[in-house]
Each structure stands twice: as C-alpha cells, then as structure tokens.
Amino acid sequence: MASTYLTALPVYNERQHVGGVLDETLRYSPDVLVVDDGSTDGTAKLLQQRSDIQVVTHSENRGYGAALKSAFEYALAHGYDVLVTIDCDGQHQPRQIPEMVAACQQADIVSGSRYLAPLPGNSKPPEERRYVNRVITAQINRRLDLDLTDGFCGFKAYRVEALRKIELTETGYAMPIQLWVEAVAADLKIVEVAVPLIYLEEERSFGGALDDVATRLAIYRDVLRQSLLRRNLNTSAPVLGPPAEPAQPLDAGEMPPAESACGETGR
C-alpha cells in the first residue's frame, strides 16, 4: 500500500521565495504544510491567499527547530506515514521528494546530503559554512559511530511513527545535532541520499554573534555535549574539534571551548 506523506516547509520571512517554492513542491507532494515561524515581511499574507496548503502559524519567531517540531506534531496528529521537510530558500529541489519518500520505506530517517556525491550543477558552498559543517559532522560521527557526510541538511524524510521515539528541545538551527543523538538513542535506521549543493543567497546572515565562526562552533559543541549527556551516550571524552582544514585563516587554537549557551544558531 502506498504511503501517505506530507511535505513541510519551515518559513521565516521568505516572501521572495515562498510562492515559487510552494508551487514546485505541490507538483510532487499532494499535501503541503507551511510552518510560518512569526514572519513579519508579508509572508503570512501570501500564505493566507492560498487554499492549496495547510498553515501552522507561530505568533512570534521561535526558531528553526521549533518550526520543525510543530511539523512533527502535525504529521503525528494527522496520521501520515512519512514526513518530508524541505527548506524554503531554494536550496532543495522538490522533484526529489518522491525519492526521499521511497527511501523511507527502508529507513526511519532519510537525510539529504550535499556532499555524499558530486552532482551536475553543484555550486560552491560558502567556505565558512562548509568548514563548520565538516567539523561538526566529524564530531557527530565520532561520538555516535555514524558515517554521515552532511550533518545539517534540512531536506529529510522521516517515518512518522519513529518521531514518537525522539524528544527535541533545541529550538534553533542546532536542532539537527540533537536529532542525531536522539536517533541513535532510539536505535533508528538512518540513510543518506545525495541532493544538489545549491546556494542562491550566500550573503544570508545567521544574525548577531552567530555570524562569527568560532562562536557558532562553540554553540554547536555545547549542544552536542549536552545532548549526549542527556541520553548518557559516549560522554567519556570531551567534544573537541578535529583537525579539519580551515575555510579561512582560522585554526583550532582560535576555537573556544564548548561553554556557550545555545540560542538561535545557524547552519
């Protein structure tokens, strides 16, 4: 029997992209949910004009992780078999949604990877973002005995029943780090699927101190450390940065220890 699936898009101030992304997504997914995370740029008005989607609205901006948690709750409440999540900034190609759903028949979490295999038309990622991704993905792999190539891609498919086994508290962009810890603690099966590497707006800012690479790394390490402690997984060694090649003149000595509290973080 074919799986029923929902595609959810977390949205915050995406007036420029949301219409086109939704039109394309609806070509490949019969049911589409938008979680509007407190947009103030007119996105909400555009969403109100559509009758072909479902919308969950946060009255104020709560964060990327909080938006995804709302999508998880909606999928569980409405009895879907599979939930696909896709970003609204044009990085992901909706035509791959059926592929992600199909892969979810053999896994609990299907995670898109921009670095699993080179694909035609791939763009070059911003150097700092690629560096942070490499460092943190390596840490996740080492601590959880995984073999991920992209720890932060937002294009994923989840077997909805498996979502009952994980408990997410991270509200910002660091949520995927906690997700991997929760998935391992729940013994979920994870597979990666290659997706194109597309950056349309390299100048996008994370906001405030999070635009600083060292600060972002410290926050991510702290989330990983706290998530491991919470589930009592591989807590015997400190969470440190591996000797990855820096994207800019930045070496391990410039990276602070994982003592920063987690706020709104970025990929």
The per-residue pLDDT for range 48-80, each reduced to its tens digit, is: 999 999 999 999 999 999 999 999 999 999 999
**What pLDDT, on the 0 to 100 scale, is given for residue 48?**
96
pLDDT of 265 higher than 50: no
Distances (CA, A) of 136 to 128, 154, 180, 219: 12, 15, 12, 11
Rounded to two decimals, what is the model's pTM? 0.84
**Does the pLDDT at position 119 exceed 80?**
no
Per residue in 215-225, pLDDT tens? 889 999 999 99
Contacts of 105 (CB under 8 A, 6+ apart): 3
Smallest CA-to-CA distance from 89 within 246, 198, 227 is with 198
Cα 111 to Cα 156: distance, rounded to the nearest angstrom: 5
At residue 267, does pLDDT exceed 60? no
How confident is the prediction for the chain on average, in pLDDT?
85
pLDDT over threshold 50, residue 246 = no
For the segment 244-254, the average pLDDT, to the nearest whole number, is 37
Q: What is the pLDDT of residues 150-208, one digit of tens each?
A: 999 999 999 999 999 999 999 998 999 999 999 999 999 999 999 988 765 545 555 55
pLDDT of residue 190: 98
SS3 of 190, please? strand
Read off the pLDDT band of 255 (50, 70, 90): very low
**Residue 253 in this model has a pLDDT that exceeds 60:** no
Which domains does the chain show, CATH number per domain? 5-206 (3.90.550.10)
